[in-house]
Amino acid sequence: MRRFIFSLALSLMVTVIAFGQTQTFSDANVEYTFELPEPTWKIVVKPTEGSPNVEYAYKDRLDGHLEIRKLAIKQAEVISDLILRDQEQKLQFLVGYVAGKEEPFAGIYRGRVFNYEFVKFGKPMSGRFYYLKSDDNTVYVLRFTGLKDKLRLIRNQTDSIARTFKLKAS
């Protein structure tokens, strides 16, 4: 009987620890929240009144780096056009840039995911950008970058963060 109670208590503790690992990001200077699936994600840029930018790193910036930006769009603008504009203005100038595929994404907000590869410090890198449309005039971009192999390993986490991204209730 003691063994049964001990094993039951142990399994409950493990379950609580496993589910207790997520942490919610929320800050008074931004209007959104999201869930971080592991405590390994550390904030590297906090939002302020003057700059609402948020950045996180997974262990090290090369292992995984997240930037969140809010973009204003025209009411009829299509997310694919926004992705194309980002490529033309910024991404195509990265060393070794190779565009990947664009795919639909659905979490709390629907949008598109754009994947690409590039080279930084002589190392193969990749990017995975989530374009999430919160209303007719606003898109939030969750920009994940990191070493190609490492970013691939945490893809389930990047998807999870994007799925849980939501605006705070007004």
Please provide the distance, in angstroms rounded to a whole number, between the alpha carbons at the two ends of the chain: 52
Q: pTM for the full model?
A: 0.85
* DSSP calls for 54-66: EEEEESSTTT-EE
Tens-place pLDDT, residues 140-153: 999 999 999 999 99
Report the 10 Å Cβ neighbour count for 70: 14
Q: Domains, the chain, ranges and CATH?
A: 22-167 (3.40.1000.10)
Tens-place pLDDT, residues 14-59: 444 444 578 999 999 999 999 999 999 999 999 999 999 999 999 9
Amino acid at the residue 137: N
Tokens of 9: 């208590």
